[in-house]
Amino acid sequence: MNTSTAAQTPRVQADFRSDTVTQPTAAMRAAMAAAPLGDDVFADDPSVNALQDKIAALLGFEAALFMPTGTQSNLCGILAHCQRGDEYIVGQLAHTYRWEGGGAAVLGSVQPQPLNHQPDGTLALADIEAAIKPDDAHFAKTRLLTLENTWGGKLLPFAYVQAATQLARDKGLSRHLDGARLFNAATAQAAQNGTDPYAEARAITSCFDSVSVCFSKGLGAPIGSALCGSREFIARAHRIRKMAGGGMRQAGMLAAAATHALDHHVLRLAEDHALAARLAEGLRGIAGLEVEAPQTNIVFVDLVGAARAQSAALQEHLKAQGVLITGLYRLRFVTHLDVDAAGVDRAVAAVRSFFAA
């Protein structure tokens, strides 16, 4: 019988492709196995209900809805804010614009108004203001601002988050946060301020009408996200989730993993950030590499000059050394629950040995 558990699964690879690749820990699996279950379409699953209550309270919202994916969570959020012919302002490279199959437009007839990012990931306040359409029959109705934090591993400055969401509010727009990595943002912000990540998460989310947060990224749950907002907003999102095929039944096993993650994996995100810094430090000074100083758990490394021609060979070399990454000329290393200092050092050694050869 295959009784593979996290502890027994050999980790022959250092997998930096994404923080989505984590395996549930033994303790998380135990929590999942022990979860009381019901039929969540009847709102009967105690573990789902407990998670929804917990995340809503944690982030300062009236209600929350458990979602199978972050993509569906953002989709339901945008569609619960916007009607057909409405418009949302969003970053050109934001997940809710570029990486979700155009779902808001395809499924909701909601028009995106993408804006270019500033180097720090923000959308310039002047650009946001200029993109808001007057009430005129020529234009879609600008209804919503969506921000993403962290964005590309960058923490949006909190003063910016406050200013952008205040501008949106003043202009009568709703505000949605794609907080797939909200707790990474909160962890970085807490380190800056000497506070705790739960308090910073709540400070960030207090600027928004709705927030989507992923449990399946750095928090280490196998599946799941939550959408948070007012009771009335969540009731609308609930209807849309059903329409999108996201009404799950005995989902409590997954919700229990998410609850476990909220209880046990938030404070350890600082370790991922420290490992990202260690990785960046280790890669610094190699000719042909430009290493971006990481703010959270994502390290970007650009291949420049002659090194660009070696991209494919580098990928192959890393793979042979058991180091998995993404990106061709802009390499991306993501740290998470299932890579440790030894994995980071292996990655550094693998890159160094390639360029030394």
Ligand X SMILES: *Cc1c(COP(=O)(O)O)cnc(C)c1O
Binding site for ligand X (CB under 6 A): 69-71, 74, 95, 148, 178, 180, 214, 216-217, 225
Minimum Å gap between C-beta 342 and ligand X is 26
Give 216 or 350: the residue with its C-beta nearer to ligand X. 216
**Beta carbons of 280 and 291 less than 8 angstroms apart:** yes
- Enumerate residues 6+ apart whose C-beta is below 8 A from 357: none
Cβ proximity to ligand X, 95 vs 241, nearer residue: 95
Which residue's CB is nearer to ligand X, number 45 or number 100?
100
Q: What distance in Å separates the CA atoms of residue 221 and residue 29, rounded to the nearest whole number?
A: 10
113 or 212: whose CB is closer to ligand X?
212
Nearest-approach distance from CB 162 to ligand X, in angstroms: 20
> What's the Cα-to-Cα distance from 119 to each of 75, 140, 154, 319, rounded to whole Å?
26, 28, 10, 31
Do the beta carbons of residue 255 and residue 35 sit within 8 Å? Answer: yes
Min dist CB 178 to ligand X, Å, is 5
Q: What number of CA atoms fall less than 13 Å from residue 145's CA on the CB side?
A: 31
Name the residue with the smallest CB distance to ligand X.
70
Compute the half-sphere exposure of residue 300: CA atoms within 13 Å on the CB side of its CA: 10
Nearer to ligand X, 93 or 349 (CB): 93
The number of beta carbons lying within 10 Å of the beta carbon of residue 11 is: 14
Spatial strand order of the sheet with 174-179 comes to 63-67, 225-229, 210-214, 174-179, 141-148, 86-91, 111-115
The closest alpha carbon to 224, from 213, 234, 235, belongs to 213
Which burial class, exposed, middle or buried, applies to 219 when counting CB atoms under 10 A from its CB (0-12, 13-18, 19+)? buried
Q: Are 253 and 47 in contact (CB under 8 A)?
A: yes
CB 49 → ligand X: shortest distance, Å? 22
Shortest reach from residue 215's CB to ligand X, in Å: 9
Of the two residues 70 and 197, which places its CB atom closer to ligand X in the complex? 70
Q: In whole angstroms, how close is the CB of 299 to ligand X at the nearest point? A: 15
Give, as one character, the DSSP assignment of residue 213.
E
Nearer to ligand X, 223 or 289 (CB): 223
Total residue count of the chain as it appears in this document: 357
Copy the structure tokens of residue 54.
């917990």
- Write down the least CB distance from residue 264 to ligand X, Å: 20
Identity of the residue, 13 or 69, whose beta carbon is nearer to ligand X in the bound complex: 69
Other C-beta atoms within 10 Å of 203: how many? Answer: 18
**Angle (deg, nearest 10), helices 197-205 and 46-59:** 80
State in angstroms the smallest separation of the CB of 180 from ligand X: 3
CB 137 to ligand X: min, Å:
34
Q: Which is nearer to ligand X, 142 or 225 (CB)?
A: 225
> Closer CB to ligand X, residue 47 or residue 225?
225
Q: How far apart are CA 170 and CA 157, in angstroms?
A: 20
Shortest Å, Cβ 221 to ligand X: 11
